[in-house]
Structure 1
Amino acid sequence: MQAVAQAGDRAAFAALYEHYAPRLKAYIMRLGAPEDVAEELAQESLISAWGRAATFDPAQASVATWLFTIARNKRIDRLRRERRPEIDPNDPALVPDEMPAPDSGVDQAQAEARLRRAMQALSADQTHLLQLAFFSDLSHREIADREKLPLGTVKSRIRLALARLRTQLDGEGMEG
């Protein structure tokens, strides 16, 4: 370890790696890690030891104790990451919606009012079928089954209701 620390001796590190990698892997597996994770953590531990070799103090601990401590800490870090995944700041669920322009609220309210007036011009039956199709998200087949109407009748009534709405909205200056 001192040859690695003082001179960056690759041959010394290779010997250290060959000796300790299987032992670290077995130790990490005894801690409960699957084989592939244990192998990965053993490699990470030894790479970390390579980078921190200058901090190794033989008066504090043996090489084995130092390496096994690094491996145990790598395992703990992995467990913490698995239990608490890192947050992706670009996750769409975490990005707040943009504030609408103040005038867009007024525009939206006016459009909704025009649509309500146009809906009042429809028959109760047409309004009911549109509500089932658009607000209850039912297919034409589901509406036909629910209302005990022929499928063609449901399609015709919805198509006529939409055409009538379009005419009403176009008459008020709203594109449909």
Structure 2
Amino acid sequence: MRRSVTRNDTDAAEHWVTLIARIRDDHDEAAFVALFEHFAPRVKGVLMRSGTDAATAEEIMQDVMTTIWRKAAQFDPARASVATWIFTIARNRRIDVLRKQRRPEPEELAWGPEHEPDQADALGLQQESEHLGAAIAALPAKQRELIEKAYFGDLSHSEIADVTGLPLGTIKSRIRLALDRLRHAMSQIDK
């Protein structure tokens, strides 16, 4: 059973990579539709759970999917899974939108020197994101796949069990171990 689960997960990952390649090489609309139908609702859901209102989440999701169409050639399967690449684009677009919302209109500009903590926060967030990406990439494959399904794929533990065929307890244990490793890796930033 586990051999087929690993094979199914590998097949799914290869399927997404193949679709990206078809978009990149042939501008294959059917491949894009398949990616869109799978990832668009998940991207929007993650954005809304992070505090983005529905209309803005929809706009960001549309922008993310357009970016996938235009920049499929930039995807590198050696660096990240398709899901990680897509959700990274979404995170970056959300940050861009937040920055834009915080910029005052010209008539609202204050006179005199202003503090710019937002740039430091943004740099810190970018560095943390890069460190987190490296920490996720360093996880054992079984743990990384479950983390991606749970946090990037928007699946509950029960849904992951249905998809993978793994027992719920195994899924919870692997995710807990992965989160412990990620916490430890992230705590090393401050040292």
Q: TM-score by structure 2 length?
A: 0.44
TM-score for both structures, normalised by structure 1: 0.48
- Which structure: greater helix fraction? 2
Higher normalized contact order (CA 8 Å, seq sep 6+, divided by chain length): 2
User: Which protein is bigger by CA-based radius of gyration?
Assistant: 1
